[in-house]
């Protein structure tokens, strides 16, 4: 697996988990053998010290996913075209969680522009050296 930066990374072997059970058809997911958990400690173990990169993070469900990942110890990259909205999301996450650690990164990102993607990835790699999870929303 390689990113557009040219760096190579070994893919992680992870069990696929569904964080937001409310947004999926639970019976179909269970039939596929996908493990679901609402156990807080289990999510801490999965997300702690991981880097989660979210596109479209200024709106929709991504802001709630970002907050959940942050609460469980992940470093979170908020990517979107609207930097002002991203800054508000960042402020909301800090206010809602009362966690003031340096684990949130706001990056301007246009997913239709390769140079924008390269810049966002490079900013993330400069800060945390890796990306464990990429979620396009």
- Asked whether residue 13 is domain-assigned, the answer is no
Q: What is the CATH number of the domain that holds 86?
A: 3.40.50.720
Q: Over the stretch 42-77, which tens digit does the pLDDT of each residue have?
A: 777 788 999 999 999 998 889 989 998 999 899 999
Query: How many domains would you assign to the chain?
Result: 1
Cα separation, 48 vs 123, whole angstroms? 21
State the residue range of the domain holding 111.
47-136
Q: Over the stretch 81-123, which tens digit does the pLDDT of each residue have?
A: 999 999 999 999 999 988 888 999 999 999 999 999 999 999 9
- Asked whether residue 52 is domain-assigned, the answer is yes
Is the pLDDT confidence value at 78 over 80? Answer: yes
- Asked whether residue 97 is domain-assigned, the answer is yes
Cα separation, 25 vs 108, whole angstroms? 33
Torsion over CA: 98, 62, 15, 28 (sign): positive
């Amino acid at each position: 697996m390689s990113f557009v930066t040219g760096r190579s990374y070994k893919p992680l072997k992870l069990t696929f988990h569904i964080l937001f059970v409310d947004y999926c058809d639970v019976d179909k997911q269970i039939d596929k053998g996908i493990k679901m958990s609402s156990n807080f400690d289990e999510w801490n173990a999965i997300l702690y010290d991981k880097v989660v990169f979210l596109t479209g993070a200024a709106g929709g469900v991504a802001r709630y996913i970002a907050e959940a990942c942050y609460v469980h110890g992940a470093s979170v990259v908020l990517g979107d075209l609207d930097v002002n909205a991203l800054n508000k999301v960042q402020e909301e996450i800090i206010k809602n969680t009362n966690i003031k650690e340096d684990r949130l990164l706001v990056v301007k990102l246009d997913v239709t522009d390769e140079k924008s993607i390269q810049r966002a990835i490079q900013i993330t790699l400069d800060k945390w050296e890796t990306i464990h999870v990429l979620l396009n929303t």
